[in-house]
Structure 1
Amino acid sequence: MSTHPAPAQRLSLPPDITAVPFGDSALMVSLASGTVDERQRGSRRLREILLEVRPHGLLDVVAGVDSVLVEFDCLAVSHGQLAQTIRLAASGTGFHDEGANPGGKHFVIPLVVNEAFAPDLPDVALELGISQEAVLGHLEASVLNINLLASAMAPMMGRVEFPGQVSRCKEPRTNVAPGSVMVAGTNAIIQPFPGPTGWKVIGRTPLVVCDIREDPPTSFKSGDTVRFKVVPGSEWERLQGRFLRTDSYMIEEEH
């Protein structure tokens, strides 16, 4: 009797998932192969599946750039049991059919660039070997995926189609203004509140990306997409303080 799976069965085999123990009660789960974009999309899909299926013993799923940290009750399930459950859940929920998040939102975010708002733009241009205008051109041409919500609900996004990697600041800044748009590697992030950072600041949006008075406090989530639009400094006063929504800049973009 043959033990080889039939063609239809091969298509439903679990995706190539790596699950590494992370302490006594967590697993670091990621795709073992694929491009950067595929691994990032895969981590978002894994998180969605786990929150939907809620395997026995699951406590929380924390998103990373291209992985998820799965926290569980070690008295209810073992590392190996949960890893197997994750692979089976991914196999049975159309994991490979997931594209660019069909239910996701798309945001156009205005960006004001001047000497005060973009102190690191000259350094980024020098590092990449292109002009400052070209740096902004690459940023505007990139459709970025929100991979995760970092500290203070900051949207961490990738990938900016830069011709190389952007290094972090040699000396981190102790206080960066809210709305600052920053880059490192080929990722971008927006600073929701004043705070320190080692990322390079290349502009600032007048929109408010996180407001605790709103419910929910952000209008975006992981899997949504973003495109930046450089606007004149004269737009700052008119747009300042608006809460970021999908239509925050829709009317202005048409003009």
Structure 2
Amino acid sequence: MSTQPAPGPQLSQQSNAAAIKAVPFGDSALMVSVFSDDSGERQEGSRKLRELLLDVRPQGLLDVVAGVDSVLVEFDNLAVSHGQLAQTIRLAVAGGFGDNDGAHAGMHFVIPMVVNQTFAPDLADVAAELGISPEAVLGHVEDSVLNINLLASAMAPMMGRVQFPGQVSRCKEPRTNVDPGSVMVAGNNAIIQPFPGPTGWKVIGRTPLVICDIRENPPTSYSPGDTVRFKVVPESEWERLEGRFLRTDSYTIEGAH
């Protein structure tokens, strides 16, 4: 399959739920998204689109790959054309997009985060970039209820939106290795590193919980559509919580649910 958008007209349709655009992407895919000036609405709409398409399973559908604010719909081009599939998506959206909220009930997670010089090497830089104090940065993170929009590489939860007063840039020089549990931000999104690996996101803390464990079935307890709140906890909590698998009851905040 080609990885570049193919020439062709943009296919769009206005429904009572949303305005959808479907752009041909190579010979056997459509890039589908929701028209909105609000990034949060685009992200939420893309999540619902993915759930709806996986539920309806239009003829020829092969896979639906989640992006930050769009979905890549891969299909068998011998079974259906770009235009036919786009029309099917329009009809599915018009008939059930607004009713699809129940496709995934959504769970809420409170994730403890320890902040110190070792665990939060970029916190001061993020504060300087936003023009606020490090404490204020953490306050915005704690006050935000984040939606898991998609699972990125290694099942890392990609979350938005942190209510920062601006956008956070990525590191000028990406790190070659970041410890698992690292809490990172870029733009107004947050992500947690499940396993050791490289990143260009800015690290502002670390959770002692294990967020992905291949010994568990399933290996994560979260999925797109779930919500997350972070809670900064003292370093003394690390030993008590270290290695505990993330579940909805791993850590609670009074009044958070």
Same fold, judged at TM 0.5 (above): yes
Aligned-residue offset at 1:18: 0.6
CA distance in 2, matches of 1:90, 1:228: 33
Paired residue for 2:128, among 114, 126, 129? 126
> What one-letter code is carried by the residue in structure 1 that aligns with 2:191?
I
Paired residue for 1:51, among 41, 50, 54? 54
Alignment of 1:158-237 (within 5 A): 158-237=160-239
1:132–1:59: structure 2 CA closer, same or farther, 3 Å change rule? same
Q: Do the aligned partners of 1:148 and 1:157 also contact (CA within 8 Å) in 2? A: yes
CA distance in 2, matches of 1:154, 1:133: 25
> What one-letter code is carried by the residue in structure 2 that aligns with 1:32?
F
Q: Do the aligned partners of 1:113 and 1:204 also contact (CA within 8 Å) in 2? A: yes
1:139–1:19: structure 2 CA closer, same or farther, 3 Å change rule? same
Aligned-residue offset at 1:188: 0.2
Paired residue for 2:88, among 80, 85, 89? 85
Post-superposition CA distance 1:74-110 (Å, at most 9, x none): 11000110001001001111x2355698710000000
Q: Does 2:148 correspond to 1:146? A: yes
CA distance in 2, matches of 1:33, 1:230: 33
- Alpha-carbon RMSD across the aligned residues, in angstroms, is 1.8
Q: Do the aligned partners of 2:177 and 2:198 also contact (CA within 8 Å) in 1? A: yes
CA distance in 2, matches of 1:232, 1:33: 40
CA distance in 2, matches of 1:48, 1:23: 23
> What one-letter code is carried by the residue in structure 2 that aligns with 1:86?
I
TM-score by length of 1: 0.91
Secondary structure of the structure 1 residue equivalent to 2:92: helix
Percent of counterpart pairs with the same letter? 80
Structure 2 gaps, min length 5:
1-13
Paired residue for 1:40, among 40, 43, 46? 43
Q: 2:29 aligns to what?
A: 26
Moved more, 29-38 or 44-53: 29-38
1:28–1:198: structure 2 CA closer, same or farther, 3 Å change rule? same
Structure 1 gaps, min length 5:
1-10
Q: 2:108 aligns to what?
A: 106
> What one-letter code is carried by the residue in structure 2 that aligns with 1:23?
G
CA distance in 1, matches of 2:52, 2:104: 15
Q: Do the aligned partners of 1:45 and 1:98 also contact (CA within 8 Å) in 2? A: yes
Q: 2:6 aligns to what?
A: none
Count of residue pairs the alignment pairs up: 242
Q: 2:4 aligns to what?
A: none
CA distance in 1, matches of 2:244, 2:90: 43
CA distance in 2, matches of 1:115, 1:238: 20
Q: 1:157 aligns to what?
A: 159
Q: 1:241 aligns to what?
A: 243
TM-score by length of 2: 0.91
Q: Do the aligned partners of 2:104 and 2:225 also contact (CA within 8 Å) in 1? A: no
CA distance in 2, matches of 1:12, 1:72: 23
1:130–1:58: structure 2 CA closer, same or farther, 3 Å change rule? same
Secondary structure of the structure 1 residue equivalent to 2:118: coil
User: Which ranges of 4 or more aligned residues in structure 1 deviate by more than 6 Å?
Assistant: none
